[in-house]
């Protein structure tokens, strides 16, 4: 990473405040552990959709070094069956209530439904991860603003046709930012996600990876979510369970391009990757 890119990422940055928690994005890469409480997620569907299994896995992720947990009650894999709000609430709220009492890390809820977000925040969640960037549910931004919590605005769209991939992606993200700020979400509560694997071909995903610094340059912390995704599977011709090394490569690359947070399944391994890259970058600035 060039010094200028490193300065873009760190200079003027502050910790990300999520409730009483302070996430040190200004000092090092923050690792978000994935907790899917769904029967059909592409990577671990059905493994943690029972309460005790989910709790054990959450505690394991924290023990392995996760800085925060991202709890999802609806699969966003391609061709997944949409989940009704009541079913999503039944999946998500009980685990949020338990984890808010049992783990000492902030909890993120992966949802695009405003009512799920509202009830999750009341149950003890600390931030919202919206895969539609506050565009799917017109009430979402207001719910988040009222709670005063951070939001992850991910890039997504209903069409995968682009005039200029990176320019269009940045414009889409900036539109999400405008929606968020218009509702009253503070600028320092906004995180961007380029949406690897969403409305993009394998080649387009690789193009976005190559140009991640252009998303970082929008001026917000960037979360990168590549863990075990099909971009890695297609590139390396590997099934989901054999994509750890490919994930590690994308995580290291993303940090080198200025990403501040990474969302991963394999927390122990990716914490080691992030700490190593962070150490190299710290020496490079001396």
| CB distance 28 to 70 below 8 Å | no
Based on the residue annotation, tell me whether 257 is a catalytic residue of this protein: no
Residues 6 or more apart whose Cβ sits within 8 Å of residue 78: none
HEC secondary structure over 49-111? CCHHHHHHHHHHHHHCCCCEEEEECCCCCCCCCCCCHHHHHHHHHHHHHHHHHHCCCCEEEEC
Q: Give the number of other Cβ atoms within 10 Å of residue 27's Cβ.
A: 12
CA 60 to chain centre: 19
SS3 content of the chain, % helix, strand, coil (to 5): 45, 15, 40
In the chain, DSSP finds a helix count (H) and a strand count (E) of 11, 10
| Burial class of residue 279, CB neighbours in 10 A (0-12, 13-18, 19+) | exposed
Active-site residue, from 263, 268, 272, 275 = 263
Active-site residue, 229 included: yes
Q: Which of 28, 229, 243, 257 is catalytic?
A: 229
Q: What is the side-by-side order of every strand in the sheet holding 30-36?
A: 190-193, 151-154, 127-130, 107-110, 68-72, 30-36, 261-264, 223-224
Under DSSP, the state recorded for 187 is G
**Could you list the active site residues?**
229, 263
């Amino acid at each position: 990473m060039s010094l200028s890119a490193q300065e873009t990422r760190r200079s003027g940055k502050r910790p990300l405040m999520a409730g009483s928690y302070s996430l040190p994005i200004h000092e090092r890469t923050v690792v978000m552990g994935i907790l899917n409480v769904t029967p059909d997620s592409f990577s671990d569907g059905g493994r943690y959709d029972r309460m005790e299994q989910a709790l054990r896995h959450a505690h394991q992720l924290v023990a392995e070094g996760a800085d925060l947990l991202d709890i999802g009650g609806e699969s966003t894999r391609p061709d997944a069956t949409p989940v009704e709000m009541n079913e999503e609430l039944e999946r998500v709220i009980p685990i949020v209530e338990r984890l808010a009492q049992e783990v000492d890390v902030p909890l993120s809820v992966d949802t695009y439904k405003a009512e799920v977000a509202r009830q999750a925040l009341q149950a003890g969640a600390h931030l919202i991860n919206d895969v539609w960037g506050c565009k799917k549910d017109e009430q979402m931004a207001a719910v988040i603003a009222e709670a005063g919590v951070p939001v992850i605005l991910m890039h997504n769209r209903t069409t995968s046709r682009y005039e200029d991939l990176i320019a269009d992606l940045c414009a889409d993200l900036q539109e999400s930012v405008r929606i968020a700020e218009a509702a009253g979400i503070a600028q320092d509560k906004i995180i961007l996600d380029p949406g690897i694997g969403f409305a993009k071909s394998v080649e387009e995903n690789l193009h976005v990876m190559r140009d991640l610094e252009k998303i970082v340059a929008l001026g917000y912390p960037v979360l990168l979510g590549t863990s075990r995704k099909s971009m890695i599977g297609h590139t390396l011709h590997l099934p989901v369970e054999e994509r750890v090394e490919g994930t590690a490569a994308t995580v290291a690359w993303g940090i080198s391009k200025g990403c501040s947070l990474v969302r991963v399944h394999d927390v122990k391994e990716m914490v080691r990757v992030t700490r190593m890259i962070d150490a190299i970058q710290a020496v490079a600035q001396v």
